[in-house]
Structure 1
């Protein structure tokens, strides 16, 4: 068997899921279009990884969005010689060439095709990116749907993604929630130059890629003038603009190690999650530390947050709504033990057991 993933060029929830898949099947080769060892999690260095021809171009490894016009062709040409393929995908890996049976683990049908304006942000209607995508969309939609219909079975990472798969592809999918893989016993390293800002903790935390639909800009603006601190962990195209616009009680940490991430979570007061997420694993990561979340009342957060137990919701991702929730937040209202008990339902052990059962069932159908 083999594991397929769109591209391994960043550190996000989908890449953590691939690591969990590889821990379940440590002998499986991982196939991907682009692989940047320095841009993604270091644990991938111990895996056998096969890439597409695009990986020869360093600029595409660093900026995978620039490869959009080429990715359908590259994905179709990437051959996966396995009897069973687990395709972890939000756009490309379900289209890799294989004669084996494909089990698709879908993080979402491609956002840039079916949720383009949300993905590109408020300027999407008049942006160069939007115009380029409009020109490519008819071809990409045909390619994407052919690839989807060639899979043997679909698993969705959340309720909202299951419904989106049905709407976009007409395919019924079962839900398998991603696991959190937080090790609360591991080493904690302070982030250089942020020790004074974090101090003894008590800050609010955002862990997110810096993209328009993540709404990090609105959260940063919500803290302007507040007597609270916000630490933002993550990288992305908006990093420079957000850095320039931040008030003095907000810091952007960029890319951090797992040990530094533990330090940020362990000392935080609460997580803020204002984005449109297909699953949204960060409330589970925060919950492993007994920390509650202020989250957008939408998407995958509806699956992972128990309102009043592990977090509270805002109805709209506006600066005003985030600000009101921060002002109303009281640490004494939350039971860390109850939060941890909820998060245990999303353990990696449960994920691995279900995934192995799915693969076994597919293998039996092949030989039976």
Structure 2
């Protein structure tokens, strides 16, 4: 038997764009932190009240931007300042595990970097889609168009200075190749839903618990197409619950029919309750990765998703869900009827979700870190 390795363990740090919201990327960062419990987390902005409370258990290092309250509360307002702030972030570690969709890959570091990429920055390379079309019609869109040439040059330098790239999905792997000219390996993100964990009822939905409801779990941004699902159920007997927050919240509240309810700020226990009482997850958005269908599948619930992007990696058509070909209310309405009539097997759904485990994700990351150090 070989002797156990001696000497200090390699120092691993984690870098992330900003911790100012609750979403799939932030859940991945928590999974990274559990895989490397000694790792310090570096980020430009951190709002403990707006993101997952588990981050309070970790050592989080922020940029000077974090002292400015309005920027901390809305990272979109910080757009003109994020590239300079990222360039000044200094991370001292043997390996930096970079969780990035546009900024953290630009942090300076003393060791090697392993970039886990959710997508090359949407606002730089898919601007129209990200802003919901016609970016020249809004002050924010005009500002982004003005900054885009400089930010693209900064972004390309940051990407090519990184040691190795991992892609969250096949579609992102293709974007990394097309945008940066870099090859990457696909490492699917885990889901973190435990159906056996405690649940807490959501009071606003208690009267809908019996019989269940269709479910959307999404940030309320234009490209998420939440409005499409709302229109799909308008005038029908379907009950729809939207879990999410974002710039589109007020418009959704003002136009939703009575069979649509919007909730946000739920605890993990309440999220589990919502999934457990759902019938179908609906996700007709343009996604880099299909995380929410895995969360629904963990509870034995099928999904109706767009036939595109990351959903092609996480949804097995006819087995764990069905697809629609475009985000059109009539197609979504027909798709909902088809999903309801399809004989999905909850046990097969749960087994599928189990193949995207956090334990497997952690083992893959540790293997990638070891390989990076061995190459050095």
CA–CA distance in 2 between the matches of 1:190 and 1:27?
A: 35
SS in structure 2 at match of 1:346? coil
- Displacement of 1:218 in angstroms is 1.0
For 1:1-368, list aligned pairs within 5 A. Answer: 1-196=12-207, 198-330=208-340, 333-366=343-376
The 3-state SS of whatever aligns with 1:180 is coil
Structure 1: distance between partners of 2:211 and 2:180: 46
Q: Encode CA deviations 1:121-145: one digit per residue, 9 max, x unaligned.
A: 0343422222111110111001000
Contact 1:87 1:102 in 2 (8 A): yes
Per-residue Cα deviation, 1:86-121 (whole angstroms, up to 9, x for no partner): 000000000001121110000000000000001000
C-alpha displacement of 1:146: 0.3
Q: TM-score with structure 2 length normalisation?
A: 0.95
Question: Per the alignment, do residues 55 and 201 of structure 1 end up closer, same or farther by CA in structure 2, a change over 3 Å counting?
Answer: farther
* Distance (whole Å) between structure 1 residues aligned to residue 121 and residue 250 of structure 2: 26
Instruction: Work out the CA distance in 1 between the residues paired with 2:344 and 2:46.
Output: 41
Q: Using the alignment, how far apart are the partners of 1:135 and 1:122 within structure 2?
A: 16
1:131-179 deviation per Cα after TM superposition (whole angstroms, max 9, x unaligned): 1111101110010000000011000000000000000000000000000
TM-score between the two structures when normalised by the length of structure 1: 0.97
